[in-house]
């Protein structure tokens, strides 16, 4: 039964992805000017014949709905077009940058959880205490703060003033590292390379804190309010009446139920981290997907922008799908 429901939920994402592809297809049609001129970039040394050839090659001489058909067929086969500026298929370009993005996402998630879990739990258990008030004020600042500015302040303090942590890049140039997965922290553990591990962790620290702080604020607020709700419920009173220790009441009985809404929020945030961050990577010159897209925008590399927006949206949809499925396992009461 469950498998059928999950399959149904998976199938509902298909029309959404289809729609995403159509919207992305029309993105390039919003642009003033001829798509071939745009795809060729600023290079002027192209003859009219070559342009006609390209128009034919991209089916631009055919009606719009036929073009859409070709675009969807290509996208379904994993062909997202070709970047003329970088002379590479868009898919390859995106794949190259993916490990750096995943590494940063994991780093940010790790930071946000080690901040948010204790704060969320403690401020619910000690509601209205000084700790609660201070941490909720902190969380309030966290959700109101623009990420790029926090990044710059951290650079000013840790990199410029204290000179403790590097402000840019993924690893220092002096360190040699053999790439396996493309995620430097994991690669340096796999190759037992201590200097590389230290260097890559140091480089990961500031971007992760910058990204993680905002996420931590959101998670802490949600965890606190759902803990408060759970702690008021009857079965917590029962657990206390049975004589369970406070630790057991909070960590076993209350936390498990309070985690359900929290997991949804964490999942949504992973989607946002993977699929929507170009600000922090720009501040720290982190060579992830976000940086690639920002560069692509300034190079007017439209096939690459188009492909990246599509990949971002699909990642976002898939993360939400995974969250929904996880949800049913966490809370047997909920069916999809």
Partner 1 sequence: MTAHAPPRVTRGWDYTLRIRLRLWWRAIAELGYELWQRPFVLLGGLVVAGFILAAIFADQITIHNPTRGTLLLRFEPPAWEAGGEWKYPFGTDDQGRDLLTRIIYGTRVSLAVGLLSVGISVLVGTALGALAGYYRGWLDEILSRFAELLLAFPFLIFAIGVMAFLGPGFVNLVMALAFKGWVEFFRLVRGEVLAERTKEYVDGARVAGQGNLAIIVSEILPNVIQSVFVLGTLRLGYMIIMEASLSFLGLGIQPPTPAWGSMVASGRDYLLKAWWVSTFPGLAILWLVVAINIFGEGLRDILDPRLKIE
Smallest CA-to-CA distance from 103 within 233, 201, 172 is with 201
Q: Are 310 and 75 in contact (CB under 8 A)?
A: yes
Stretch that binds partner 1, among 96-104, 113-121, 297-305, 324-332 (CB under 8 A): 297-305
Closest contact distance (angstroms) between CB of 239 and partner 1 is: 24
Closest contact distance (angstroms) between CB of 249 and partner 1 is: 24
Identity of the residue, 6 or 294, whose beta carbon is nearer to partner 1 in the bound complex: 294
Site for partner 1 contains 309 (CB under 8 A): yes
Identity of the residue, 67 or 191, whose beta carbon is nearer to partner 1 in the bound complex: 67
Stretch that binds partner 1, among 55-63, 88-96, 147-155, 188-196 (CB under 8 A): 147-155
- Please write down the HEC assignment for all residues of 193-255: CHHHHHHHHHHHHHHHHHHHHHHHHHHHHHHHHHHHHHHCCHHHHHHHHHCCCHHHHHHHHHH
Closest contact distance (angstroms) between CB of 28 and partner 1 is: 7
Q: Residue 110: helix, strand or coil by DSSP?
A: helix
Residues 230-289 that bind partner 1 (CB under 8 A): 271-272, 275-279, 282-283
Which member of 144, 173, 234, 247 binds partner 1 (CB under 8 A)?
144
Which member of 46, 72, 98, 152 binds partner 1 (CB under 8 A)?
152
Stretch that binds partner 1, among 83-91, 111-119, 152-160, 327-335 (CB under 8 A): 152-160
Identity of the residue, 118 or 146, whose beta carbon is nearer to partner 1 in the bound complex: 146
Residues 17-56 that bind partner 1 (CB under 8 A): 17, 19-20, 23-24, 27-28, 30-31
Q: For residue 260, what are the contacts with CB-CB under 8 A and spacing of at least 6?
A: 226, 327, 330, 331
Q: Which residues pair with 83 in a beta bridge?
A: 88
Residues 199-238 that bind partner 1 (CB under 8 A): 225
Site for partner 1 contains 148 (CB under 8 A): yes
DSSP class of 243:
T
Alpha-carbon span 163 to 206, nearest angstrom = 12
Closest contact distance (angstroms) between CB of 197 and partner 1 is: 28
Which burial class, exposed, middle or buried, applies to 128 when counting CB atoms under 10 A from its CB (0-12, 13-18, 19+)?
exposed
Q: Are 313 and 87 in contact (CB under 8 A)?
A: no
Q: Are 290 and 309 in contact (CB under 8 A)?
A: no
Closest contact distance (angstroms) between CB of 313 and partner 1 is: 5
Alpha-carbon span 122 to 261, nearest angstrom = 17
Q: For residue 113, what are the contacts with CB-CB under 8 A and spacing of at least 6?
A: 216, 219, 266
Query: Which residues contribute to the site for partner 1 (CB under 8 A)?
Result: 15-17, 19-20, 23-24, 27-28, 30-31, 140-141, 143-149, 152-153, 155-156, 160, 225, 271-272, 275-279, 282-283, 293-294, 297-298, 302, 305, 308-309, 312-313, 316-317
């Amino acid at each position: 039964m469950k498998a059928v429901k999950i399959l149904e939920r998976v199938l509902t994402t298909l029309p959404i992805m289809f729609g995403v592809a159509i919207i992305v297809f029309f993105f390039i049609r919003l642009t003033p000017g001829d798509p071939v001129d745009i795809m060729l970039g600023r290079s002027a040394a192209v003859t009219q014949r070559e342009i006609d050839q390209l128009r034919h090659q991209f089916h631009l001489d055919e009606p719009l709905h036929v073009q859409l058909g070709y675009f969807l067929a290509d996208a379904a086969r994993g062909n997202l077009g070709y970047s003329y500026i970088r002379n590479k298929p868009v898919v390859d370009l995106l794949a190259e940058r993916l490990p750096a993005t995943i590494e940063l996402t994991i780093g940010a998630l790790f930071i946000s959880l080690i901040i948010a879990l204790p704060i969320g739990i403690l401020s619910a258990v000690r509601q209205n205490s000084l700790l609660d008030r201070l941490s909720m004020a902190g969380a309030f600042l966290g959700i109101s703060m623009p990420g790029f500015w926090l990044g710059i302040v951290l650079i000013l303090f840790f990199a410029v003033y204290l000179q403790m942590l590097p402000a840019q890049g993924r690893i220092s140039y002096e360190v040699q590292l053999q790439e396996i997965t493309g995620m430097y922290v994991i690669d340096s553990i796999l190759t037992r390379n201590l200097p590389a591990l230290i260097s890559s962790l140091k480089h990961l620290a500031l971007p992760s804190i910058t990204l993680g702080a905002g996420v931590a604020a959101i998670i802490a607020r949600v965890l606190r309010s759902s803990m408060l709700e759970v702690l008021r419920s009857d079965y917590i009173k029962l657990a206390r009446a049975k004589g369970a220790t406070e630790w057991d009441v909070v960590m076993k009985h209350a936390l498990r139920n309070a985690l359900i809404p929290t997991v949804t929020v964490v999942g949504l945030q992973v989607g946002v981290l993977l699929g929507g961050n170009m600000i922090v990577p720009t501040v720290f010159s982190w060579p992830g997907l976000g940086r690639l897209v920002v560069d692509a925008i300034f190079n007017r590399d439209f096939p690459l922008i188009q492909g990246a927006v599509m990949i971002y949206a699909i990642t976002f949809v898939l993360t939400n799908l995974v969250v929904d499925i996880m949800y049913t396992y966490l809370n047997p009461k909920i069916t999809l």
